[in-house]
């Protein structure tokens, strides 16, 4: 079935094919993606649209000597198939399998580790400058999508690249607009001619000839360039990139392999920064993905035929957040919603459809999103900025300088807080408690379930202060949902299970596992109290210290880095209170980056599920019993 693909174990094997065989290879790659990705889940539409571009790049350039950097990396599946990972591709995004994104430790052909957007041009420029300093002759290619180009970092890099004039090729993979075959063929023809060595040498000779005309030569050249630029600006979007110092080539049809190869062969001979504009079709070759590419951007694994149907899952935290936003906005016109290119992912599409004038998608621009929200807050509005926890890291200074320092009532809705699963270390929301809880004026809260989430959202919106509300990826627990929303008392947790031997103090997604662990401990003769902390900051020190005095042993549980996390806040409170005899054990994410796998598998590995919490508590009490018998309360 895969006659050509089965022979390719490296880019060198690809180069053995004739140019007219590449289209057949592209068909095989597309078929292979359609066979494998639905089994593992992953980014389907973007990869179907990038097959020919990936083949052409590896056919024309010499990886790993030439460096190919993929922005975000979610479109790099064909790249992986062509660089020796075909036989393990079925493990991508699976526990202990290969990553869904390029990783330097995975292959010498992965020139730069990615997962977040708009980084490829900066990284590529760094490599291009390094090559220049080392007197190298290799080429550097940064592949960036039109979506990622909305990120300000991309333009910062373009600006410097145009100034430095190093050999950098930026490939703009543009799948936003369709392009007809006739226009594409004409564009490809023009691009091949415009990048050919004959045309470029002729243009240079003409410029030298014109400038040599006495008195009026420079004026004629200026007029000629102005006319050329006016025509190119009218016919192509290249004027902006040329103003930044790039040689603009395109647009070319991104699914015509022979044309792309011809253009790339010419482009790699040009000195200086080049922007190659390639038009592609997201979801190419799979009609449902072509028609609704957003629905096939990222897909979950498809169950095998005949597999037992699972019962419907409870609504996700994301869905509950979105529904609650709509509910709150119905009675308050000052509530506004902001997202950074993730209206579906953050659950705000419904809000945007119902209140389009109060919904703002700023593109991939987290820094701008938060300062924009701060500006709205100064005028009496109640902005809610919904951004994934991992992407909020990109706007840390805005949280500090533009929101907290000015005490502005902006709500940060941190979706995907904690372990996200198959997307791995670039997407885990493992650090937000640590990088937020030390900021003055900021309230940090996390709900134990989806019902508490809706109450916390109302609490945040009407608190009159900066608030970060973190909640996990995935379905809720199916608890009953209160119809009437209420505001919670800021800084107050709740004791949800009594106990005498130790106290489990849990936050957010770890509360229910802690409750389950308490039941398991009870079967072993250990009486464990459980506190739903609710607030990381301000911490309910009164409740926690009371339990510390009562049981003498505190075990904190969080789905966040232990360094500077929730457990650290509890330790600080106990230390500040002078309770030196109280023993504390923290459970959370260790000082390492956590790889990809299912959420359940990763939580089990880290000991933050019910079984892991139970085992840690037993070991903790056992060690305390041996060291200080008077503190042992095990019955």
- Tell me how far apart the alpha carbons of residues 374 and 372 are, in angstroms, rounded to a whole number: 5
pLDDT value at residue 597 = 93
Mapped onto helix, strand or coil, the DSSP state of residue 542 is: helix
> Which one of the listed residues 93, 282, 537, 585 is annotated catalytic?
282
| Structure-derived torsion over alpha carbons of residues 129, 132, 136, 137, reported in degrees to the nearest 10 | 90
> Which one of the listed residues 28, 247, 366, 559 is annotated catalytic?
366
The two tokens of residue 469 are 């509300």
What mean pLDDT is reported for the chain?
Answer: 89
Q: Looking at the chain, how many residues does it have? A: 635
- Tell me how far apart the alpha carbons of residues 125 and 169 are, in angstroms, rounded to a whole number: 9
Per-residue pLDDT of 402-432, as tens digits, reads 999 999 999 999 999 999 998 999 999 999 9
Beta strands across the sheet bearing 528-532: 494-497, 528-532, 502-506, 553-561, 583-589
Per-residue pLDDT of 300-332, as tens digits, reads 887 666 666 667 889 999 999 999 999 999 999
pLDDT value at residue 109 = 96
Q: How confident is the model at residue 18 (pLDDT cuts 50, 70, 90)?
A: very high
Per-residue pLDDT of 508-530, as tens digits, reads 999 999 999 999 999 999 999 99
Chain centre distance of CA 460: 25
Does 178 score more than 60 pLDDT?
no
pLDDT value at residue 180 = 27
- Tell me how far apart the alpha carbons of residues 44 and 573 are, in angstroms, rounded to a whole number: 48
**Tokens 């699963």 sit on residue:** 421
Q: How confident is the model at residue 454 (pLDDT cuts 50, 70, 90)?
A: very high
Q: Is 30 a catalytic residue?
A: no
pLDDT value at residue 222 = 59
Q: How confident is the model at residue 536 (pLDDT cuts 50, 70, 90)?
A: very high
Bigger pLDDT: 627 or 552?
552
Beta strands across the sheet bearing 359-361: 359-361, 335-339, 382-388, 411-415, 467-470, 443-445, 535-537
pLDDT value at residue 177 = 37
Q: How confident is the model at residue 633 (pLDDT cuts 50, 70, 90)?
A: very low
pLDDT value at residue 219 = 58
pLDDT value at residue 65 = 96
- List Cβ neighbours of 219 (8 Å cut-off, separation of 6 or more): none
Does 195 score more than 60 pLDDT?
no
Closest CA to 12 of 46, 55, 62, 51: 62
Does 214 score more than 50 pLDDT?
yes
Main-chain phi, psi angles of 42, to 5 degrees: 145, -165
Q: How confident is the model at residue 189 (pLDDT cuts 50, 70, 90)?
A: very low
Give the HSE-up count for residue 43: Cα atoms under 13 Å, Cβ half-sphere: 18
- Tell me how far apart the alpha carbons of residues 345 and 598 are, in angstroms, rounded to a whole number: 18
Give the angle 431-104-150 at the CA atoms, nearest 5°: 65
Beta-bridge partner residues of 247: 274
Per-residue pLDDT of 257-295, as tens digits, reads 999 999 999 999 999 999 999 999 998 988 888 888 888
pLDDT value at residue 228 = 52
In this structure, the number of other CB atoms found within 10 A of the CB of residue 85 comes to 19
> Which one of the listed residues 394, 437, 470, 585 is annotated catalytic?
394
Beta-bridge partner residues of 57: none
The answer to whether 284 touches 255, Cβ cutoff 8 Å, is: yes
Does 225 score more than 70 pLDDT?
no
- Tell me how far apart the alpha carbons of residues 45 and 282 are, in angstroms, rounded to a whole number: 5
Question: Of 192-201, 333-342, 583-592, where does mean pLDDT reach its minimum?
Answer: 192-201
Q: What is the pTM of this model?
A: 0.85
Percentage of the chain exceeding pLDDT 70: 87
Question: Of 138-152, 158-172, 238-252, where does mean pLDDT reach its minimum?
Answer: 238-252
Beta-bridge partner residues of 275: 170, 248
Read off the pLDDT of each residue in 466-482 and give the average, rounded to a whole number: 97
Question: Of 118-127, 143-152, 198-207, where does mean pLDDT reach its minimum?
Answer: 198-207
Does 298 score more than 60 pLDDT?
yes
pLDDT value at residue 311 = 78
Does 356 score more than 90 pLDDT?
yes
- Tell me how far apart the alpha carbons of residues 533 and 530 are, in angstroms, rounded to a whole number: 9
Does 234 score more than 70 pLDDT?
no
Q: Is 282 a catalytic residue?
A: yes
Give the HSE-up count for residue 309: Cα atoms under 13 Å, Cβ half-sphere: 2
Does 232 score more than 60 pLDDT?
no
- Tell me how far apart the alpha carbons of residues 396 and 404 are, in angstroms, rounded to a whole number: 11
The answer to whether 255 touches 149, Cβ cutoff 8 Å, is: no
The two tokens of residue 373 are 């929200």
The answer to whether 344 touches 318, Cβ cutoff 8 Å, is: no
């Amino acid at each position: 079935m895969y006659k050509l693909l089965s022979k390719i174990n490296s880019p060198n094997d690809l180069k053995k094919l004739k140019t007219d065989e590449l289209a057949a290879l592209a068909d095989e790659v597309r078929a292979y993606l359609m066979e494998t990705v639905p089994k593992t889940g992953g980014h389907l539409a973007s990869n179907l649209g990038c097959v020919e571009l990936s083949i052409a790049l590896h056919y024309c350039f010499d990886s790993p000597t030439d460096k190919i950097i993929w922005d975000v990396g979610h479109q790099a599946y064909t790249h992986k198939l062509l660089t020796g990972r075909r036989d393990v591709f079925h493990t991508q995004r699976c526990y202990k399998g290969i990553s869904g994104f390029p990783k330097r430790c995975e292959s010498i052909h992965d020139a730069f580790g990615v997962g977040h957007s708009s980084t490829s041009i900066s990284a590529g420029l760094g490599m291009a400058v390094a090559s220049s300093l080392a007197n190298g002759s290799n080429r550097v290619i940064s592949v960036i999508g039109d979506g990622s180009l909305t990120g300000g970092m991309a333009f910062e890099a373009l600006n410097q690249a145009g100034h430095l004039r190093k050999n950098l090729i930026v490939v703009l993979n543009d799948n936003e607009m369709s392009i007809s075959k006739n226009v594409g063929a004409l564009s490809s023809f023009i691009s091949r001619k415009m990048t050919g060595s004959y045309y470029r040498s002729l243009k240079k000779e003409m410029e030298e000839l014109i400038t040599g005309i006495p008195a009026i030569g420079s004026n004629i050249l200026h007029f000629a360039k102005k006319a050329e630029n006016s025509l190119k600006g009218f016919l192509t979007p290249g004027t902006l990139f040329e103003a930044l110092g790039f040689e603009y080539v395109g647009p070319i049809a991104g699914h015509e392999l022979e044309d792309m190869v011809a253009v790339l062969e010419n482009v790699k001979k040009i000195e200086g920064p080049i922007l190659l504009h390639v038009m592609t079709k997201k979801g190419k070759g799979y009609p449902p993905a072509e028609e609704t590419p957003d629905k096939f951007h990222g897909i979950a694994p498809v169950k095998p035929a005949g597999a037992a149907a699972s019962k419907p899952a409870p609504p996700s935290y994301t869905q509950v957040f979105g529904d609650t936003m709509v509910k709150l906005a119905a009675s308050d016109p000052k509530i506004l919603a902001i997202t950074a290119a993730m209206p579906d992912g953050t659950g705000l599409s419904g809000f945007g459809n119902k209140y389009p004038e109060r919904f703002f998608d700023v593109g991939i621009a987290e820094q701008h999103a938060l300062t924009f929200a701060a500006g709205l807050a100064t005028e009496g509005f109640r902005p809610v900025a919904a951004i994934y926890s991992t992407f909020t890291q990109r706007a840390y200074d805005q949280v500090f300088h533009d929101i907290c320092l000015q005490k502005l009532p902006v709500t940060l809705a941190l979706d995907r807080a904690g372990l996200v699963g198959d997307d791995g270390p670039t997407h885990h929301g493992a650090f937000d408690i640590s990088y937020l809880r030390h900021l003055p004026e900021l309230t940090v809260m996390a709900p134990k379930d989806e019902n508490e989430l809706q109450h916390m959202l109302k609490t945040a919106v009407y608190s009159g202060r900066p608030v970060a509300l973190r909640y996990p990826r995935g379905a809720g627990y199916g608890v009953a949902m209160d119809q009437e929303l209420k505001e919670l008392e800021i800084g107050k947790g709740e004791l949800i299970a009594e106990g005498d031997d130790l106290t489990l103090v849990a936050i957010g997604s770890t509360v229910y596992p802690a409750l389950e662990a308490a039941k398991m401990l009870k079967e072993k003769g250990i009486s464990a109290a459980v506190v739903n902390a609710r607030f990381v900051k301000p911490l309910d020190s009164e409740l926690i210290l009371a339990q510390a005095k009562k049981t003498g042993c505190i075990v904190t549980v969080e789905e966040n880095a232990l360094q500077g996390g929730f457990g650290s806040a509890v330790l600080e409170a106990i230390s500040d209170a002078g309770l030196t005899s109280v023993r504390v054990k923290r459970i959370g994410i260790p000082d390492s980056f956590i790889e990809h796998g299912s959420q359940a598998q990763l939580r089990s590995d880290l000991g933050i599920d019910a079984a892991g919490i139970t085992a840690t508590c037993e070991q903790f009490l056992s060690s305390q019993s041996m060291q200080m018998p008077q503190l042992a309360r095990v019955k």
